[in-house]
Structure 1
Amino acid sequence: MVDRGTDVRDGRRRLASDVMNESGTLQEAYERLHRTGPEFEGWLSNHGPMAVEAMVRHGHDRDVHRWLDGYVARLDELPRGSSPVGAEEWRAALGDAGRLGDWLAFFDRELRERPWRDVLETWWPRLLPGIAAGATHGVIRTGHAVHALLQQPGQEQRDEVRLAELGQALGYWAARWQPIAAFDAPSGTADPERAIAGVPRVPDQSKGINHRLDQLAEVPGWASSVAALRPAADAEQARARLAELADAATLRYLTHAHGNPVMLVHAATAPTAVLRTLPALPPHLWNAALNAAWAASAAVTAAYAPADARRALSDVPDGPDQPEEVFELAVRHGDEHVIKLADTALDVHRRTGNPAALAAVTRAATLISPFS
């Protein structure tokens, strides 16, 4: 006779063991990465913490250290602070990249002295207007860090390594804080798909993102296009609209990624990061979060969208059609943007059932050079 009770108990022990192993892998990965800075080679963003959090959460913890062995070698050392950010001067220090080390030290101290949810609630509305920070990587890294904390039921206040990751994310965001020009709260009637389609392109796409974002205020139709989104009536509607925005940006990647396959990933991953942060925030902050996420997605779209769309479903090479296989494809490919897009695309596919979300990942893997 089969002892089904024993089977269940063994299964629970295996599940508990898997969770412990994954948690340990993420902790080890964060410890390795926290010896490095949020930027490298000028001001390229360190994607390591975001990628490993996604890999562990999707069950690829065994691949994390192998991936890190190659990635960490590219990174710079952790910057040191020289002039502490004071309680009364934080506004003047926002967006001062020269004080990156000071901001990292500030949030490290904040998160040692106060509950992390209180710190997030205080600083979220201060940082949100500068959501373009680090080409939106400030908010994206914050979203991954918060998501990692929320995956630790009953241990949220005790995991110092995850708290340290949140501190580095917030510090990076504060140091690179960058507002988006000529952006007013949405007041139109368009759903996210139609609103994104109406965003105009910046005229000069010859340089990096700062040059492109600097043009937004003068782009004809920019202000009216971002105002066209239908506003949310309440917090729950804001959360639903954020999900719709992430869905629309991910599906649009399939037909527009050729404009810039790396940078256009962030049009989808930025609103996803904001969406994942909402459970840690009080609902009265959710509407502003939607508006800022829309600003970020629209700005990236304006900066990098191609002049023409392509009917990509017909020319995407055959790829896996199951979510787990798609994420495995991304891990094998190795590029951090492909991994992050896969992480977002699996959420989109779960919400919509649309196979184009998974095809977007195959699209990214064909357009972005593999990491080796």
Structure 2
Amino acid sequence: MALSPRTRPDTLDELLVETRLYSAEFPILLASHLPMILVALDRLGATSERLAEYFETYCTTNGLVPTPPPVAPIERERWTDALGDRTREYDYRAFFENEVRRIGIDAAIQTYLPTLLPGIGASAMHGMMRTAYGLMRMDPSEVGTALGYWSATYLTMPRATGAAPITDDPGEVLARACTLPCLREVEPETDLLWHNIRAAGEKESFAPVVDWLAIGPDTGRKLAETSLALFAATMDFSSLHALTGSHWIRLIGPHLAEADRPALQRYFWQIIASLVPKIGFPSLPSAEQLDAWRHLPAPGWPEIAEAAIASDDEHDISLVFSAREEESIYGDRLYRVVAARRMGLIA
């Protein structure tokens, strides 16, 4: 739905209000990145004119649809009864927007998110993405909408049992997952990312994977390093979500109670392990290869950001923004190299 110049919002906050008129998914079961990408574009330095232009282009190109009509109010005492029911998107969004207003952002996250973490694959992790971006701005309406989105698209996967972990190395988890015969037999319903995740989760011998990773104080950094290495090796659409997802969980973690943070990391990495068939059963590069890539000539972040701002591809913008943010935390120049490569600025 393109807006006329006279009615078109022209600030980020106004545009985000407008995005909440739409469903969080568009046909057929694809995640709308629009609110998050508007924030990323703004942080990368896009003008208000570019934000408005991107809004119109995205709405028109993807055929965004209104939020489904209400079915029935979600009752606080039974709020989990309809998890995963996409017809209840309006109801869940209304419930969580009210809850965030009632108790505040952090209290809502700490009250409800631990129950949602085992379903972190919701809409291919884009419920998590919207939550992270809402928390980045501490935007109550976006956080409430995101929790509702996550709830309506909740994706059931094997739950942690408390079994003894095998390794503290996320890369070893992926390598072991690649050896599971069941993952060679995954046949998703469609090529949608979350259908691939669900198909892996339905394999009985995949169930133990969620317990394999030992979680410790340094796990966040290890997940980020492994995700970066995976994307650098494959430049693959699915592994892109490992790199950006590492950014999202870093944003969400501080808002959870300390005891709940390991589950955020554990269930996130279960989802990445479920995607190894779609990524092509990858092998991680050696330290020497990573270091060689790290030292490739690459333009600076202003040039990379400019290329991302000019792109209409939501994954270009998401990747560049997350890579820049992660480099600011971890100091690894390889983030800049892979971002430049994604944007076609280097070979």
The TM-score bracket by the shorter chain reads: 0.7 to 0.9
1:97-137 deviation line (CA, Å, top 9, x unaligned): 11111111111222232212211111111111111111111
Deviation (angstroms), 1:226 = 4.7
- Give the match for residue 165 of structure 2: 187
Deviation (angstroms), 1:307 = 4.2
- Give the match for residue 16 of structure 1: none
- Give the match for residue 44 of structure 2: 58
Identity across the alignment (%): 25
- Give the match for residue 104 of structure 2: 115
CA RMSD for the aligned pairs?
2.9
Deviation (angstroms), 1:217 = 4.4
Give the conservation status (yes or no) of the 8 Å contact 1:52–1:64.
yes
Are 2:79 and 1:90 aligned? yes
Cα distance change of structure 1 residues 106 and 38 upon mapping to structure 2, 3 Å threshold: same
Distance 2:250 2:230 in 1: 18
Cα distance change of structure 1 residues 225 and 110 upon mapping to structure 2, 3 Å threshold: closer
Counterpart of 2:58 (choices 71, 74, 99) is: 71
- Give the match for residue 214 of structure 2: 230
Give the conservation status (yes or no) of the 8 Å contact 2:85–2:152.
yes
**How do residues 356-371 of structure 1 correspond to structure 2 at under 5 angstroms?**
356-366=334-344
Q: Name the SS of the counterpart of 1:88 in structure 2.
A: helix
**How do residues 266-281 of structure 1 correspond to structure 2 at under 5 angstroms?**
266-281=241-256
Distance 1:66 1:249 in 2: 32
Counterpart of 1:169 (choices 131, 143, 146) is: 146
Distance 1:124 1:225 in 2: 22
Deviation (angstroms), 1:295 = 1.8
Give the conservation status (yes or no) of the 8 Å contact 1:182–1:217.
no
Distance 1:256 1:268 in 2: 12
Could you state the TM-score of these two structures normalised by the residue count of structure 2?
Answer: 0.81
- Give the match for residue 129 of structure 2: 140
Deviation (angstroms), 1:329 = 2.0
Give the conservation status (yes or no) of the 8 Å contact 1:183–1:295.
no
Are 2:233 and 1:247 aligned? no
Give the conservation status (yes or no) of the 8 Å contact 2:122–2:154.
yes
Are 2:253 and 1:292 aligned? no
Cα distance change of structure 1 residues 256 and 183 upon mapping to structure 2, 3 Å threshold: farther
Give the conservation status (yes or no) of the 8 Å contact 2:132–2:249.
yes
**2:299 aligned partner, one-letter code:** D
- Give the match for residue 99 of structure 1: 88
Give the conservation status (yes or no) of the 8 Å contact 1:256–1:309.
no
Distance 1:26 1:196 in 2: 39
- Give the match for residue 347 of structure 1: 325
Deviation (angstroms), 1:345 = 1.2
1:136-179 deviation line (CA, Å, top 9, x unaligned): 11111101111111xxxxxxxxxxxx311111111110001112
Cα distance change of structure 1 residues 202 and 167 upon mapping to structure 2, 3 Å threshold: farther
Deviation (angstroms), 1:211 = 4.1
Cα distance change of structure 1 residues 277 and 210 upon mapping to structure 2, 3 Å threshold: closer
**2:307 aligned partner, one-letter code:** L
Give the conservation status (yes or no) of the 8 Å contact 2:123–2:194.
no
Cα distance change of structure 1 residues 349 and 267 upon mapping to structure 2, 3 Å threshold: same
Q: Name the SS of the counterpart of 1:31 in structure 2.
A: helix
- Give the match for residue 17 of structure 2: 31
Deviation (angstroms), 1:35 = 1.7
Give the conservation status (yes or no) of the 8 Å contact 2:131–2:143.
yes
Give the conservation status (yes or no) of the 8 Å contact 2:41–2:51.
yes
Deviation (angstroms), 1:83 = 0.7
- Give the match for residue 329 of structure 1: 307
Distance 1:310 1:289 in 2: 23
Distance 2:261 2:304 in 1: 31
Deviation (angstroms), 1:93 = 1.0
Give the conservation status (yes or no) of the 8 Å contact 1:199–1:226.
no
Unmatched tracts of structure 2, length 5 or more: 1-9
Distance 2:67 2:202 in 1: 35
Give the conservation status (yes or no) of the 8 Å contact 1:132–1:296.
yes
Counterpart of 1:214 (choices 199, 204, 227) is: 199
Distance 1:198 1:324 in 2: 39
Counterpart of 2:257 (choices 263, 282, 285) is: 282
